[in-house]
Chain A
C-alpha cells in the first residue's frame, strides 16, 4: 500500500538559515507528489507539486523540491528561512482512483523558526 514518511516530527532553524524537510514515499506507480503547509487552526495551502518532467520544482514563498526516483524521495528546501515560515509541513502522494486522486499524507513536520 502507498505511504508517505516524514522522518522529522519537529525541526528548529534560525531565521536566515537554510532548510530541508525530508519526505519519502512508497508507491508502485509514477507518483504525483505535493507539499502543503498548514498554519495553526487553518486548512492546507499548496506549496508545490510534481507530476512529471523536470525533477526540480519551484513553488511559492521561495520553496523548491527535488524528486529523486532512485531514493523515493521528494525533499523540500528553502535557502533562507523567514520567521513567517513557522508552520506544519505535509508531504503527500496522490493515488489515482476512479478518475479522482485521493491524497495520502505524511504525519507532518513542525517547523519552528528562531529569531
Chain B
C-alpha cells in the first residue's frame, strides 16, 4: 500500500492557461474524491467517482473544471482558462467503497496551484 499520490506537487501558471492534475488512488480503492483548500480554510468537496462514474459534482466545480477517471484507476482534474481565484491546494482522496458511508478517506499530499 503506497498511499494516494498526486502529481505535480506544485504548479505555477499564468492566468488564462490550462492546467491538469493527476491523482493515483490506493490500489483497489474504487471511490476517488477531489477537494479544494484555500488559504486558512478547510478542504471543500468538489466531486467524486465510483469506479469510472462521476456521481456528484459540487456547485464549486464551474464549467471550466472537468474531472475524469477513465479506467476507474487514476483520475485527472483539468482547469481551463485559469483565474487567480483558482489558486489553492487541490487534494485527492480515495476510499475502499464500503456501503453505508462508514468508511475512511485517505488523502494524498495535494497539488498546490498558483495562478499569476
B47 → chain A closest CB, angstroms: 9
A32-B56 contact, Cβ under 8 Å, with A44-B107, A100-B48, A105-B42: no
| Size of the chain B interface, CB-CB below 8 angstroms | 32
A107-B41 contact, Cβ under 8 Å, with A36-B107, A96-B101: yes
The 10 lowest CB-CB distance pairs between A and B, nearest first, are A105-B42, A96-B101, A101-B101, A44-B107, A43-B107, A102-B45, A51-B102, A43-B109, A98-B55, A43-B110
A46 / chain B contacts, CB cutoff of 8 Å: 104, 106
Interface residues of B in 101-115 (CB under 8 A from A): 101-110, 112
A residues near B, CB below 8 A?
A: 4, 32, 34, 36, 41-46, 49, 51-52, 90, 92, 94, 96-108
A107-B40 contact, Cβ under 8 Å, with A44-B107, A94-B101, A102-B45: yes
B22 / chain A contacts, CB cutoff of 8 Å: none
B residues near A, CB below 8 A?
A: 4, 6, 31, 33, 35, 40-45, 48, 50, 55-56, 91, 93, 95, 97, 99-110, 112
A21 → chain B closest CB, angstroms: 13
Taking a contact as CB atoms under 8 Å apart, the answer to whether B107 and A32 are in contact is no
Taking a contact as CB atoms under 8 Å apart, the answer to whether A107 and B42 are in contact is yes
